[in-house]
Amino acid sequence: MSLAPQQALASPVENTVVGPGDSVLVLPEAGQVRVGAGLHADGGHLRTTRPGILRRTKAGKLWVQGRQIRYIPAAGDAVVGTVVERHSDAYNVDLGGPFAAVLPALAFEGATRRNRPNLTPGDLVYARVTAASRDADPEITCTDASGKGAGFGPLQEGLVLTCSSALVRQLLASPPPPVVAALGAALAFELAVGQNGRVWVGNADSSTVVLVANALANSERLSPGQAHLMVKKLLASVQA
Amino acid sequence: MEFVSPEGLRIDGRRPQELRALQCKFGVLSCCDGSALFQAGNTKVFAAVYGPRVADIRGQALHDRALIKCEYAHAAFSTGAARRRRGRSRKSTELAALVRGALEQTILVELLPRAQVEVCIQVLFADGGVTAACINAAMLAVADAGIPVRDMVAACGAGHLEAMPLLDLNHTEAATGGLEVCVALHPALDRVVLLQADAKASVDTLEAVTTLALQGCKAAAGAMREALLQHVRSLAARRGAI
């Protein structure tokens, strides 16, 4: 049961399971290494900071795909948040992370000083993180970079599901995961997947919303076959 | 009382330099952001991690790093002796401070300014080596929560009985009141995070016992890491990610 000394690697081995503190790469003297979440440089080594699978994006960025429940804001993420406080020129929005985000009152499509959405604490918004600096609260907006709505905005009715980052990644995958495909073939519903681990399910019919939310919540640890079977069973129980 | 038999076996059948069987389980509680169960022989400790989240008390939040809070409790049935009083005691405050100290050096606190990470530890069965088990359980829960850490911290105790260093004392061995040392280590960085001893000892004894405890830490770290990777692998395999 002795711990083998960490092997110093010239190039990282992708798609392997790594634990916190593992050295994945000896940093080169010169050149660039693109590093994403879950890695940090320490004493000439690139070390992992959390358990997960080491991945490399198409752009060559290394990161660790892990599973967590708390959300750490990152610029560009699409998130589902709850308005918690209302100020004259901004809202405070809870994203389920360590800090509440700031949503400027005019950060909606076509909003002006006279004509702007009137949100109250408890309302839901689907938004995009524009700034996530270490020293300030994150900022979110309900428009895309060109000022269009692009699907962002207040969410009416529906139900919010809290889930792990692993499930969010599955739901956002392309093609969609088997559970979403199976549900979508049988039911009509709307889905807003926030990368902060909040998933909004919308539909006029509340029984459909509950069914979809339960199916999604239970799908994280199911294989494609099991997911199909679960959706089939749920649908049968509702239609019976 | 004889603690090491002429055949070289201890009262629970181990060799002097042998750890008890370690067992780690992850995600055992659903109410928190990360949880783990750590078991070393009969000693059994639960840890739950909440956070990183907004600091409960705004005045306590630190502008440049995360605030680590640690709470320790043991079940009324965890020790043989009847529990004298409820709530916090000096012992539980000290244990919580030791675990917090180890975690503050392990978690990358500077990445999460103004946030708070809370670790709650519950001892279900105390059969010696409780400090080490608490640190190990807390580390596993922090890893389960995905909180960024420098390295995995692993802790292990060792003692000195019958002129012989013994690894990982159980309750009967620890109750003799001899020297017992608890060491916590960052194995990949090769850095000692915690060194604690409750009795007077000569330098030679302390060195022998500490060296043994360090070896125990490395073995415990190996076992913990293997269990953690196994857990990650099984989660990934179930969703077809690997």
Boundaries of domain holding A178: 159-239
The closest CB to that of A15, out of B19, B113, B242, belongs to B242
Mean pLDDT along residues B56-77: 91
| Domain end position, chosen among A108, A130, A155 | A155
Give domain status of residue A127, yes or no. Answer: yes
The closest CB to that of A3, out of B116, B187, B236, belongs to B187
Q: Inter-chain contact A1–B152, Cβ cutoff 8 Å?
A: no
Give domain status of residue A40, yes or no. Answer: yes
Tokens of B210: 């500490």
Q: Inter-chain contact A42–B33, Cβ cutoff 8 Å?
A: no
| Global ipTM | 0.88
Long-range contact pairs involving A35-42 (C-beta distance under 8 Å, separation at least 24): A35/A61, A35/A62, A35/A63, A36/A61, A36/A62, A36/A63, A36/A64, A37/A63, A37/A64, A37/A72, A37/A74, A38/A63, A38/A64, A38/A65, A38/A66, A38/B148, A39/A63, A39/A64, A40/B108, A40/B148, A42/B150, A42/B189
Interface probe, candidates A18, A40, A50, chain B, greatest B C-beta count within 10 A? A50
A183 and A143 belong to one structural domain: no
Give domain status of residue A54, yes or no. Answer: yes
A129 and A95 belong to one structural domain: yes
Give domain status of residue A39, yes or no. Answer: yes
Chain A hits for B223, Cβ within 8 Å: 1
Can you give the pLDDT at residue B84?
60
Can you give the pLDDT at residue A11?
65
A143 and A163 belong to one structural domain: no
Chain segment A159-208, per-residue pLDDT in tens: 999 999 999 999 998 888 999 999 999 999 999 999 999 999 998 888 89
- Structural domain count of chain A: 3
| Domain end position, chosen among A155, A179, A209 | A155
| Residue A203 and residue A209 in contact, taking contact as beta carbons nearer than 8 Å | yes
C-alpha to C-alpha distance for B214 and B96, rounded to whole angstroms: 22
Kindly report the average pLDDT of chain B as a whole number.
92
φ and ψ at residue A222, rounded to 5 degrees: -110, 145
Mean pLDDT along residues B179-207: 93
CA angle A193/A194/A197 to nearest 5° reads: 105
DSSP symbol at B41: T
Does the pLDDT value for residue B204 go beyond 70?
Answer: yes
C-alpha to C-alpha distance for A198 and B4, rounded to whole angstroms: 57
Closest residue of chain B to A24, computed from CA coordinates: B188
Can you give the pLDDT at residue B43?
96
CATH number at residue A192: 3.30.1370.10
Cis peptide preceding A175, ω within 30 of 0: yes
Chain segment B8-60, per-residue pLDDT in tens: 999 999 999 999 999 999 999 988 999 999 999 999 999 999 989 888 898 99
A168 and A129 belong to one structural domain: no
Can you give the pLDDT at residue A1?
34
- Closest CA of chain B from A233, distance in Å: 20
Can you give the pLDDT at residue A149?
84
| Domain end position, chosen among A137, A155, A173 | A155
Spans of chain A, pLDDT less than 70: 1-11, 240
Give domain status of residue A42, yes or no. Answer: yes
Q: Inter-chain contact A40–B229, Cβ cutoff 8 Å?
A: no
Please tell me the CATH superfamily of domain B22-238, with its number: GHMP Kinase, N-terminal domain (3.30.230.70)
A147 and A163 belong to one structural domain: no
Can you give the pLDDT at residue A239?
78
Closest residue of chain A to B51, computed from CA coordinates: A70
A229 and A195 belong to one structural domain: yes
Q: Inter-chain contact A21–B152, Cβ cutoff 8 Å?
A: yes
> What is the DSSP pairing of strand A90-94 with strand A124-131?
unpaired
Give domain status of residue A100, yes or no. Answer: yes
Tell the burial category of B6 from Cβ atoms under 10 Å away from its Cβ (0-12, 13-18, 19+): exposed
Chain A hits for B148, Cβ within 8 Å: 38, 40, 49-50
Q: Inter-chain contact B239–A19, Cβ cutoff 8 Å?
A: no
Q: Inter-chain contact A70–B53, Cβ cutoff 8 Å?
A: yes
Give domain status of residue A203, yes or no. Answer: yes
Can you give the pLDDT at residue A9?
52
- At B242 the three-state DSSP class reads coil
Of residues B86 and B128, more confidently modeled: B128
C-alpha to C-alpha distance for A48 and A24, rounded to whole angstroms: 7
A109 and A53 belong to one structural domain: no
A171 and A146 belong to one structural domain: no
A56 and A89 belong to one structural domain: no
Can you give the pLDDT at residue A6?
45
Tell the burial category of A207 from Cβ atoms under 10 Å away from its Cβ (0-12, 13-18, 19+): exposed
Give domain status of residue A26, yes or no. Answer: yes
CATH number at residue A146: 2.40.50.140
Can you give the pLDDT at residue A10?
53
A54 and A104 belong to one structural domain: no
Where along chain B do its domains lie? Answer: 22-238
- At B21 the three-state DSSP class reads coil
Tokens of A20: 């916190």
Confidence of residue B85 (pLDDT cuts 50, 70, 90): low
A109 and A145 belong to one structural domain: yes
Q: Inter-chain contact B238–A22, Cβ cutoff 8 Å?
A: no
